[in-house]
A and B are shown apart, each in its own frame.
Chain A
């Protein structure tokens, strides 16, 4: 079974600065997907970014980018030009490809953006 580890429970960053959130995972599969979800105080889960394991190129979405290191089983999220609206919990999640695939979530990290 796969596991997802987010070892930092909390982080803080100054507005307009850059922050990196860490995530590691463990799996014996070679084909899988990785996700970062954001959960603001409203508690709505919002997809931030997704990475397919077969792609070497790191995914980017505007101010959000990932550093995907497949051999190291590491999947960190970089937020550039942090904004107050980025304050939220961030969850890393894993899903292998194939039938009956399910998402496995890390415990999340609380990010606070300071004005």
Chain B
């Protein structure tokens, strides 16, 4: 089945530790996105990538890093510089045919700090 997968479903981070969230898509989409969701808040964009080996900062990129070495994969690293990482993280992808294609989302990863 075509879709977007995120792993793990739950992730625990210790103080000072970097952790990486996985996002893979087999939809042949060009663009991929990472969002953060906090309780009572909408989604906020962390990073996005429209092409392999290129990515742009979103609204809340500080304390996060990404890579886009393959079209199918867009991992997000939450670094120790992110002081409040507890949140729900959603990955999305879209084609770039047309002016604005719909974004489709993965099931999300819940990150908790120990």
Contact = CB atoms under 8 A, between A and B. Distances in A.
Given A91-B43, A102-B58, A105-B42, A97 B99 contact: yes
B103 A103 contact: yes
A33 interface: yes
A16 to B, nearest CB: 29
A95 B107 CA distance: 22
B107 A102 contact: no
Interface in B87-107: 88, 90, 92, 99-100, 102-105, 107
B102 A50 contact: yes
Interface residues of B, number: 22
Contacts of A2: none
Interface size band for A: 20 to 34
B84 interface: no
B42 A91 contact: yes
Nearest to A95: B100
Contacts of A95: 100
Majority SS of interface residues in chain B? strand
Given A43-B107, A45-B90, A105 B99 contact: no
A42 B108 CA distance: 10
Closest 4 CB pairs of A and B: A105-B42, A97-B99, A45-B105, A105-B43
Interface of A: 4, 9, 31-33, 35, 37, 42-47, 50, 91, 95-98, 100-103, 105-108
Given A45-B92, A45-B108, 20 more contacts: A9-B40, A32-B100, A33-B100, A37-B105, A43-B108, A44-B105, A45-B90, A45-B105, A46-B105, A91-B43, A97-B99, A98-B100, A100-B50, A100-B56, A102-B45, A102-B48, A103-B103, A105-B42, A107-B40, A108-B42
